[in-house]
A and B are shown apart, each in its own frame.
Chain A
Amino acid sequence: MSRALDVLPGPWLLRSTSPGLEAHAELRGSLPQLDAASLLALVEASGLRGRGGAGFPFATKLRATVSAPGRRRHVVVNLSEGEPASAKDLALTLHQPHLVLDGASLVAHALGTREVHVVTAAEHPEAQEALLAALAERRKERRDGRRRWRLHEASPRFVGGEASAVTELIDGRPNLPVTSWRPTALAGVDGKPTVLSNGETYAQLAALVLGGAPVPGTPAEPGTRLLSIAGPTGTTRVVEVAHGTPWRTVLSTTELAAPVLLGGYHGTWAPAGALEQLSVSHADLTAAGLGLGAGVVLPLAPGTCPLRATAGVTRYLARQSAGRCGPCHQGLPALATALDAFLAGGSLERVERLRSLVVGRGACAHPDGTARLVGSALAAFPDEVAAHSDGQCRALRPALTTVGVR
Chain B
Amino acid sequence: MSREADLRVDWPRCEGRALCHELLPELIDLDPWGYPIVNGPVPARLRPAAREAVRDCPKLALRLIERKDSA
Contacts and interface: CB of A to CB of B under 8 A. Distances in A.
B63 A178 contact: no
B14 interface: yes
Interface in A315-333: 324-328, 330-331
Interface string A293-335: 0000000000000000000000000000000111110110010
A400 interface: no
A361 B11 contact: yes
A277 interface: no
Interface string B4-31: 0000111111111000000000000001
B33 A362 contact: no
Residue of B10, B11, B33 with most chain A CB atoms under a 10 A cut-off: B11
Contacts of B33: 326-327, 330-331
Interface residues on B, range: 10 to 19
Contact of A361 (B15, B32, B34, B35): B35
Contact of A363 (B11, B16, B34): B11
Highest count of chain A CB atoms <10 Å: which of B9, B13, B15, B16: B9
Contacts of A178: 12
Nearest to A357: B31
A391 B11 CA distance: 38
B11 A181 contact: no
Query: 6 closest Cβ contacts across the A-B interface?
Result: A325-B11, A324-B12, A326-B35, A330-B33, A179-B10, A363-B11
Given A181-B8, A361-B9, 10 more contacts: A325-B14, A326-B14, A327-B11, A327-B35, A330-B32, A330-B33, A330-B35, A331-B31, A357-B31, A361-B35
17 contacts: A177-B12, A179-B10, A179-B11, A179-B12, A181-B65, A324-B11, A324-B12, A325-B12, A326-B15, A327-B11, A330-B32, A357-B37, A361-B9, A361-B37, A363-B10, A363-B11, A363-B12
Interface of B: 8-16, 31-35, 37, 63, 65
